[in-house]
Chains A and B, each alone.
Chain A
Amino acid sequence: MPSSVPESRPDFIQVDHFSFHYGEKQAIFDIDMAIPEHRVTALIGPSGCGKSTLLRNMNRMNDLIEGVRHEGDIRLNGTSLYDPSVEVISLRKRVGMVFQKYNPFAKSIYENVIFSLRVAGRSKKSELNETVERSLRSAALWDEVKDRLHDSAFALSGGQQQRLCIARAIANQPEILLMDEPCAALDPLATLKIEELITILKKQFTIVIVTHNMEQATRCSDRTAFLYMGRLIEYGHTLQVFEKPSHPETEAYITGRFS
């Protein structure tokens, strides 16, 4: 299926015996996996299995929570996330993130898209305009909003707002795009649009997506990782995981016996 995808580095994101604790509670147990470049990797699993936690560790968003600690390491393209010399802010610039609930700022569409450039201190008008057009085109939103870039982002529909959030996440050209159940708050039609978008975006970005939706995982991911109770149960090509799961829990989950 993914024939047009560019050359891929197999361990673009290397999760290296990674464990994670929220205070007393351990959320991730010794996960070890390599996520390839320019592929869509889906993290699936029942609620509370640690998939979102793992995702949010890939740009250290979990640092914002009190009392967390980790063991092991995650490396992005060779750089350790937890190296003492890493500056979290510059790290996050390499990793875009799309959230479960679309969350544009109370600003215009234009200002939403260029937010990451603004905080990076870039203000050249031509660059900003160019970024807005490129990002909105990449997010398949340009044609719908090009005439009202300075309207409030809240004037858009839910699906459009989520695509705006995608445009915002990719505006500063990150290497990785993390998506935390990006379609959970959307209707089927809007979901379909986002899924189409994901398959296009993987040419530019390495995408990690957390989803509850089996069909979504099969439709748009190349790899699937099944997490259960904080452990990585099964990880492989999507088709293989869904058609010939090697673990009984995986099979039980994907056939809908528990969720």
Chain B
Amino acid sequence: MGWLIRSGGVAVILSVFGIFYFVGKEVLPLFRSADVAPVGKFDALAVPAVLGVDEWGEMPFFYDGGDKVVFLSVADAARREIEVPGLAGLKITAHAFDPVHLRVSLGLEDGRVGSFLVGYERKFSGDGKSIIEPAVTAEPWFSLKHGEGAVTAVSYGDSGAGRVIAARRGEGAVATVSVLRLGMKRGLVGKGKLSLLEEVEVTKELGAEPLLLRASQNGAMVLVALADGGVAYFLADSQGVSKRQTFRPFDGVSPRQMDFLFGGVAVVLTAMDGRQEQWSLFRAGRDGERMFGESKVFPQLGEGRVIFAASQRNRTFLTGSGRDLSIRHSTSGAVRWEGALDIDPVTAVLDAKGGHFIAAAADGTARRYSIHDPHPEAGWRAFFGKVWYEGGSEPVYQWQSTGGSDDFEPKLSLIPLIFGSLKGTACALIFSIPVALLAAVFSAAFLPLEIKRVVKPVMEIMSSLPSVVLGFLAGLWLAPLLETRVPSVMMMTLVVPLAALATGYVWCRLPNSFRNRFAQGSEWIIVIPFLALAGWIGWSLGPVIESLLFVHKDAATGNEIADFRLWWPQAAGISFEQRNSLVLGFMMGFAVIPVIFTIAEDALSNVPESLTAAAAALGANRWQVVRTVLLPVASSGIFSALMIGFGRAVGETMIMVMATGNTPITEWNLFNGMRTLSANIAVELPEAPVGSTHYRTLFLGAVVLFAMTFFMNTAAELLRQRLRDRNKLV
């Protein structure tokens, strides 16, 4: 028999460690940095003015400003040259590369701007292998009307429907900048024709010599970096092109590099001295316009040529100067990888899948590297620190794991969830601890045995109520009911306990001859009608109090409305929601009270009768017996009851999911909801792809939840043992 018990114990320990192993396996990859390994070399190519690559990183192309694009297959080192149609004989004076659309934009000596697109098609042959077929398509040319001389810089933005080309003509102080808006004219049949809508010359609005041009990939913005250190921001929309802002990222030092990140609302700039910052668009005030503001400072780069390549999949980017490159992530500001190349690169590119990067040197040698970084968004800072997200006006703790579009920036702070768990637990416990403990004391020390025999099983049945039923009741019945009667609830919580105390006081003043007619422990029958009456009074007083105290003055009409729901946001400045902490507290009470009650009642009932008898024989009344003997002796058991209640509340999921509104906000407001770690896992895990950052982060939430309860329980157990030793029995 002994071996059976032993093996059972070992099995339990093993399965606990098994859980640790599994959870650890899911969570640990989040904290790994990126691995980068060289996987290929190419040599003796022309000077790579433009370096691009297909989404799998298997066939980079090199363009040197001539009329041909060179494709190089990684698999078999096959080199293939494709001529760009219509480029022969033209003198190309400016070019730029947009890795989103694989577009090479061009500027000519004669003042024309245009572009060609590189395409890859993956074909599967019969034997299961695939080959990549590259293609090059030319786009129409547009002549610049404004300015003189050759085009010296060009940038192309394309939202699909509308396009923008920013171009500079001339050099130095006489350089001019034009922004061309292009539109698709749709015919009745066939493809639409790309045509020029307007050309806007913006040179006068710059105020200094233009150095760099960058149109956002979606064609909505044009940024012009200036020699005086400023960056001019132009908005291009269907209304035209208008200047919105000039910002100065480096206090007068002009930027040397300026590129949009994935998503197109944040731009990374590097100064001549190597400082690197991220500026993003956000509203500074409540209703201000979206302007660029500094939102991140990255570690400084060395001097020299700046390499920059943004990922087309997430907010990582490859940057560096000289041979030293690093992979950085914009959201957390973390450096994912750092290393030195064995060539001196002039340009680099990340493939669209994020699995490789290719760097090329001036002499035509190139290197291909594999990147293994499945969780760039993760990290201590992202999970537990304040992060300045794109579009936000300040660093915040925020949880928003998924969004409507691919270029969404995941916000993975666990702080709002930890806060939600603590708030939910606090709400549940504040409500249930007094009720449960007082009920346990009453049942153990005051109630006659025959009633106690009914009360205990009923409470235990209460604890077996499925929490999904409680959650359903909370969300769909209690929440709408309480929504309109908050003042009534407040009055009831005030009036009912007062009525109980008052009844007790009056009872004690009654003569013994009257009181002795009731058996000890049956006094509660007398209190019940008074409590019911008090409850009714409290409930009916609510609207009266509401009309006296909680009057909301409507700003628009000047009408005065007695409604707590309107008054609270106005008075407290925080929101009122139907599914709020109050509702949660009530319903969690149903889940937590029976747990605390049952264990505390057992602890109190197990106090040796000899001690209570001794106290009673010494003239202690029932309440004094409770205070001096029952509570101290049962304190360790009561403490266990509270801890188990805490554990129940922290881990409770269904009620939290259904009654809290699941809003991951960090606000100590009794009248709004929360999202707890447990509810978060329940809600999001079914939608998280296995192995993704999101999936692993949910597991991290589970680890945090476990750590919280583990530390609480350990601390509580130590405290409980001290209590027990102090009140130990003979």
Residues of A within 8 A of B (CB): 59, 61, 63-64, 66, 84-87, 89-90, 92-93, 95-97, 99, 101-106, 115-116, 118-120, 154, 161, 165, 168-169, 172
Contacts and interface: CB of A to CB of B under 8 A. Distances in A.
Interface on chain B toward A: helix, strand, loop, or mixed SS? helix
Interface string B659-700: 000000000000000000000000000000000000000000
Interface string B607-618: 010111111111
B512 A120 contact: no
Nearest to A59: B617
Contact of A106 (B450, B610, B633): B633
B619 A93 contact: yes
B616 A92 contact: yes
A207 B489 CA distance: 58
Contacts of B513: 84-85
B621 interface: yes
A66 B449 contact: yes
A106 B727 contact: yes
A165 B730 CA distance: 14
B561 to A, nearest CB: 53
Given A64-B616, A85-B516, A105 B449 contact: no
Interface residues of B, number: 32
B80 interface: no
Given A59-B617, A154-B728, 6 more contacts: A61-B613, A85-B512, A95-B617, A106-B729, A115-B620, A172-B618
Interface stretch (B177-185, B469-477, B624-632): B624-632
A63 B728 CA distance: 28
A96 B729 CA distance: 22
B610 A115 contact: no
B517 interface: yes
Given A89-B619, A96-B617, A103 B512 contact: no
B726 interface: yes
B520 interface: yes
A103 B728 contact: no
B573 interface: no
Q: Which 6 A-B pairs have the closest CB atoms?
A: A97-B617, A93-B619, A103-B610, A116-B618, A119-B620, A84-B513
A64 B622 CA distance: 10
Contact of B450 (A66, A97, A105, A119): A66
30 contacts: A59-B617, A61-B616, A63-B520, A64-B612, A64-B613, A64-B616, A85-B516, A86-B512, A89-B621, A90-B619, A97-B618, A103-B608, A103-B610, A103-B614, A105-B614, A105-B628, A105-B629, A106-B726, A115-B618, A115-B620, A118-B628, A119-B615, A119-B619, A119-B620, A119-B628, A120-B619, A154-B728, A165-B614, A168-B614, A168-B618
Contacts of B608: 103
A105 B617 contact: no
Contacts of A165: 614
A116 B614 contact: no
B617 to A, nearest CB: 4
A71 B209 CA distance: 114
Interface of B: 448-450, 511-513, 516-517, 520, 608, 610-621, 624, 628-629, 632-633, 726-730
A87 B628 CA distance: 20
A105 B619 contact: no
A104 B448 CA distance: 26
A64 B728 CA distance: 24
Contacts of A154: 728, 730
A118 B618 CA distance: 10
A169 B730 CA distance: 19
Contacts of B632: 106
Nearest to B632: A106
Contacts of A105: 611, 614-615, 628-629
A172 B619 contact: yes
Contacts of A118: 628
Contacts of B617: 59, 61, 92, 95-97, 99, 169
A116 B616 CA distance: 9
Contact of A66 (B448, B614, B619, B620): B448
B621 A119 contact: yes
Contacts of B610: 99, 101, 103
A48 to B, nearest CB: 19
A85 B515 CA distance: 9
A85 B613 contact: no
B623 to A, nearest CB: 10
Contacts of A97: 614, 617-618
A154 B614 CA distance: 16
A188 to B, nearest CB: 21
A99 B613 contact: yes
Contact of A87 (B512, B613, B620): B512
Nearest to A84: B513
Contacts of B511: 85
A198 to B, nearest CB: 18
B608, B612, B615 pick with most chain A CB within 10 angstroms: B615
Contact of B619 (A63, A84, A116): A116
A161 B729 CA distance: 13
A85 B513 CA distance: 4
A1 B23 CA distance: 83
A106 B610 CA distance: 12
Nearest to A94: B619
Contacts of A103: 608, 610-611, 613-614, 730
B541 to A, nearest CB: 37
Given A106-B726, A172-B619, A84 B614 contact: no
Contacts of A90: 619
B628 A106 contact: no
Nearest to A115: B618
Contacts of B629: 105
Contacts of B615: 105, 115, 119
A29 to B, nearest CB: 24
B628 to A, nearest CB: 7
A105 B618 CA distance: 12
A118 B624 CA distance: 10
